[in-house]
Amino acid sequence: MPPALGSAFSVKTATDAGVSPRRLRARDLDRPFRGVRVRSAPVPADGEDVHAQRALAYAVALPDGQFFSHVTAAVLWGLPLPASAIRPAEVDVAVLAPGRTPRGARIRGHRMVQASTRVCVHPQLGVPLLAPTSTWASLGAVLDVRDLVAVADAIVRVPMFRGDPPPLATIDDLAAASTGRRVGIARLRAALPLVRERSASRPETWCRLALIDGGLPEPELNWNIVVNGRLVACVDLAYPRERVAVEYDGEHHLVDARQWSRDIGRHEALAAAGWIVIRVTKQHLFTDAAGVVARVRRALAGR
């Protein structure tokens, strides 16, 4: 098999390179789509990685005029999605009207008719897909309001830490993309006013929205706490006047010994500066959001 073909290639490209039909039927080649071959490799454990791998395999034989959309476009842009929205083996492929809706095994075909739909080429991956704003608008048919806010937060996120990329779009760009009649337009309109530029993750967005829905004031996001001219910490959510912080501890905080050690020192420094820190885990946030709200309310009331 010629190395120049890469890890995924079309049958036509391989045949043109002199590969025999028999070789293309060998067991060391996977056949995820008709006319596509992939060199066998370990399957990623993460559903998003599997989905992205499938999409990039299909891209080698993507017909002219087709592009990735909906969930697949979101995965390729690196936008946060709930696991329930991702079907690892099926990719979303679309055309602009009046083109014919794509069909095929393991393909979810779409025909985009909205005048605001924008298609571009991914700057790193080199594949055609919905632009970030149009990707968000298409997800109105798939996600609930909180996850639409989380995706939009990721799109408009401004650089906050060293190495952060620039935002993919602005809030005004999202508003322009979510016009007209489309499936999910009511959810898009409900989500848009809740979008913020300084949310660093899907759990942070969910936590902020839970606090607001619980009747608490909206917290500041990724707030720098400075004492005597020295930066003590940048906390996920903060009520500066009351000196109450809310920190989301992802699973890596529990399994990474170095991270755990840093967390201890950080929270001791915050306590010494007079801050109360409410620590929230995945279990707290996604199964007992009311309990998180109650803990924050008690802390605020105590101040």
Instruction: Say how many C-beta atoms besides its own lie within 10 A of residue 278's C-beta.
Output: 19
Domain extents in the chain: 1-41, 47-194, 202-301
Confidence of residue 45 (pLDDT cuts 50, 70, 90): low
pLDDT in tens, 50-96: 999 999 999 999 999 999 999 999 999 999 999 999 988 899 999 99
pLDDT at residue 42 greater than cutoff 80: no
Instruction: List CB contacts of 269: < 8 A, sequence separation 6 or more.
Output: 232, 233
Mean pLDDT across the chain = 92
Classify the phi-psi angles of 103: left when phi > 0, otherwise alpha if psi is within -120 to 50, otherwise beta: beta
Instruction: Using DSSP bridges, classify how beta strands 220-227 and 8-10 pair: parallel, antiparallel or unpaired.
Output: unpaired
pLDDT in tens, 217-236: 999 999 999 988 889 999 99
pLDDT computed for residue 256 by the predictor: 60
pLDDT computed for residue 187 by the predictor: 97
* Strongest mean pLDDT among 16-30, 174-188, 190-204, 242-256: 190-204
166 cis-preceded (ω within 30 degrees of 0) = no
pLDDT computed for residue 259 by the predictor: 65
- When pLDDT is averaged across residues 33-50 and rounded to a whole number, the result is 82
User: Is 3.50.50.60 the CATH classification of the domain at 202-301?
Assistant: no
pLDDT in tens, 164-211: 999 999 999 999 998 888 889 999 999 999 999 999 999 999 999 999
Instruction: Using DSSP bridges, classify how beta strands 91-96 and 67-68 pair: parallel, antiparallel or unpaired.
Output: antiparallel
